[in-house]
């Protein structure tokens, strides 16, 4: 052991060594669907994005067919005939509800939890005594038994290493022989001898690392860095100079230095977006106006839900980049609000003003969206002289509360702004969803029937 290593160890023992777990549901959306339709077990299944556009979740059997993440449905639908592939429209209300249940059980693993995405959470295990691998297997078993979702659990001294361990745990289970079998389902990198850990890093491609995407991955390989071990052995200072401060942090995390840490509470959002691709190409301004009004009101409702105000409204429209034969057009614009607000009417008005400014006739529009920017807490209200309308209902907040309450009780879109147009089939821009499963846990009409 060199002098530098000894100093390093001394520093490590002074500052308590961190330990994180990452709990991640396997093929999450597909697993949620299978809980209520066991007939889907052992079959290739994909869950499709909005518009039934592309695959956003795949069962192991679907992965084995070579179906890639994000594959367009029209390119893979032949597997329906040839291999019995089942495709379902995404049912996000169901997945959100299953997620809540899974998260509450996963929380039992550590003393703090950061819910990172709908199917993943980090747990802080720092300072907990006992066998973390055993403890993780018990939690995993409980989630599988009580909720019906299979998870992979990875443990490491940094979040990036916990992510890597999680990848190993899931891959070892799905592809026997890819890693030693005992890493399947739960992989704890904190327990390993350096030679064991290096062997795992050597067996893993650099592109699997959290923070290394397609582009950076290709650049690294170009530079002769093929495995996680190659990346972990680079000099962080060189990495910062040649690539970026972001990749430097990733390298340090792979070397065991905790640079990211757990988020104690979700940070305040900086923007709220509502964007959609259309079921069919849209040419008329009037149709875009309906869609933009609807997106603006939905974004405003999200904003009210988190008790915020927005200072700016961004509107964008664009053609389909996949239709290379079409003339392309993509523009966005930001309209500042006179005063920050969460009132659907003011926000829609601003969004429509923006649309007016960027709309050009003669294009086949494929997508539009509204984003709320410059967000702040609603309690920081800028005082100004009340206008006549505002005297009875300052800021329109009582009207908006009533709107939200009605829509909460009777379903989204029961009460809407007139410029959003009529609901249902008369709208020319709504998305296709032809393969939707029932809301098994979120809708009384969707309850599963059990026959004795």
Partner DNA sequence: TCTGGGGTCCTAGGACCC
Phi and psi torsions of 140, nearest 5°: -60, -45
Query: What span, in angstroms and rounded, lies between the C-alpha atoms of 204 and 179?
Result: 9
Query: What span, in angstroms and rounded, lies between the C-alpha atoms of 314 and 371?
Result: 5
Which residues make Cβ contacts (< 8 Å) with residue 425, sequence separation at least 6?
none
What x-and-dash track marks residues 361-400 binding DNA by CB under 7 A? -----xx-x-x-----------------------------
Question: Nearer to DNA by C-beta: 145 or 325?
Answer: 325
**Residue 271 touches DNA, criterion: CB under 7 A:** yes
What x-and-dash track marks residues 189-208 binding DNA by CB under 7 A? --------------------
Residues 232-251 binding DNA (CB under 7 A) are 244-246
Question: Nearer to DNA by C-beta: 210 or 440?
Answer: 210
**Residue 54 touches DNA, criterion: CB under 7 A:** yes
Minimum CB separation from DNA for residue 283, in Å? Answer: 12
Question: Nearer to DNA by C-beta: 246 or 422?
Answer: 246
Contact criterion met (CB below 8 Å) for 291 and 368:
yes
Query: What span, in angstroms and rounded, lies between the C-alpha atoms of 378 and 370?
Result: 20
Phi and psi torsions of 196, nearest 5°: -65, -45
Q: How far is CA 49 from CA 40, 152, 214, 312, 442, in A?
A: 19, 24, 21, 29, 20
**Residue 274 touches DNA, criterion: CB under 7 A:** yes
**Residue 72 touches DNA, criterion: CB under 7 A:** yes
Residues 431-450 binding DNA (CB under 7 A) are 431
Question: Nearer to DNA by C-beta: 323 or 398?
Answer: 323
Binding-site size for DNA (CB under 7 A) equals 52
Phi and psi torsions of 124, nearest 5°: -90, 115
Question: Nearer to DNA by C-beta: 142 or 364?
Answer: 364
Minimum CB separation from DNA for residue 202, in Å? Answer: 20
Helix (H) or strand (E) segment spanning residue 296 = helix 285-305
Q: How large is the greatest C-alpha to C-alpha distance in the chain, in angstroms?
A: 78
Contact criterion met (CB below 8 Å) for 164 and 209:
yes
**Residue 70 touches DNA, criterion: CB under 7 A:** yes
Question: Nearer to DNA by C-beta: 53 or 180?
Answer: 53
Contact criterion met (CB below 8 Å) for 370 and 274:
yes
Question: Nearer to DNA by C-beta: 44 or 308?
Answer: 308
Which residues make Cβ contacts (< 8 Å) with residue 175, sequence separation at least 6?
none
**Residue 281 touches DNA, criterion: CB under 7 A:** yes
* Residue 49: Cβ-neighbour burial (10 angstroms; 0-12, 13-18, 19+): middle
**Residue 275 touches DNA, criterion: CB under 7 A:** yes
**Residue 323 touches DNA, criterion: CB under 7 A:** yes
The site for DNA (CB under 7 A) is made up of 49-51, 53-54, 56, 70, 72, 74, 116-120, 163, 209-217, 244-246, 269-277, 281, 302, 320, 322-323, 330-334, 336, 366-367, 369, 371, 431
């Amino acid at each position: 052991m060199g002098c530098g290593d000894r100093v390093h160890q001394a520093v490590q023992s002074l500052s308590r060594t961190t330990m994180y777990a990452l709990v991640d549901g396997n093929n999450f959306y597909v697993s949620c669907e299978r809980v209520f339709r066991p007939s889907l077990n052992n079959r290739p299944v994909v869950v499709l994005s909005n518009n039934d556009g592309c695959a956003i979740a795949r069962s192991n059997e679907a992965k084995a067919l070579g179906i890639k993440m994000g594959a367009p449905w029209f390119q893979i639908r032949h597997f329906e005939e040839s291999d019995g592939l089942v495709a379902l429209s995404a049912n996000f209300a169901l997945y959100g509800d299953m997620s809540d249940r899974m998260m509450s059980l996963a929380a039992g693993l550590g003393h703090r939890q950061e819910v990172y995405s709908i199917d993943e959470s980090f747990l802080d295990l720092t300072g907990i005594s006992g066998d973390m691998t055993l403890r993780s297997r018990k939690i995993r078993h409980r989630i599988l038994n009580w909720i019906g979702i299979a998870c992979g659990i990875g443990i490491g001294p940094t979040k990036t290493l916990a992510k890597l361990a999680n990848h190993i745990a899931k891959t070892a289970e799905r592809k026997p022989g890819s890693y030693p079998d005992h890493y399947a389902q739960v992989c704890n990198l904190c327990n390993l001898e350096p030679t064991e850990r290096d062997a795992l890093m050597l067996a893993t491609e650099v592109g699997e690392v959290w923070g290394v995407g397609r582009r950076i991955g290709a650049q690294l390989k170009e530079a002769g860095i093929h495995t996680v071990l190659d990346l972990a052995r680079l000099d962080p200072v060189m990495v910062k100079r040649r690539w970026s401060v972001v990749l430097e942090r990733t390298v340090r995390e792979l070397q065991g230095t905790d640079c990211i840490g757990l988020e104690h509470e979700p940070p305040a959002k900086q923007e709220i977006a509502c964007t959609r691709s259309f079921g069919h190409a849209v040419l008329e301004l009037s149709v875009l106006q309906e869609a933009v009004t609807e997106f603006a009101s939905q974004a405003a409702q999200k904003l009210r839900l988190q008790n915020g105000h927005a200072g700016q409204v961004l509107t964008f429209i664009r053609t389909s980049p996949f239709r290379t034969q079409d003339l392309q057009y993509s523009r966005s614009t930001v309209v500042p609000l006179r005063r920050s607000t969460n009132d659907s009417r003011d926000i829609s008005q601003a969004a429509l003003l923006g649309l007016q400014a960027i709309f050009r006739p003669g294009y086949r529009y494929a997508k539009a969206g509204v984003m709320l920017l410059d967000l702040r807490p609603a309690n920081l209200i800028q005082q100004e002289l009340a206008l006549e309308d505002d005297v009875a209902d300052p800021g329109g907040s009582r009207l908006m509360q009533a709107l939200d309450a009605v829509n909460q009780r009777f379903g989204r879109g029961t009460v809407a702004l007139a410029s959003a147009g009529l609901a249902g089939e008369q709208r020319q821009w709504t998305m296709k969803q032809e393969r939707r499963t029932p809301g098994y846990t979120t809708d009384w009409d969707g309850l599963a029937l059990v026959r004795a």
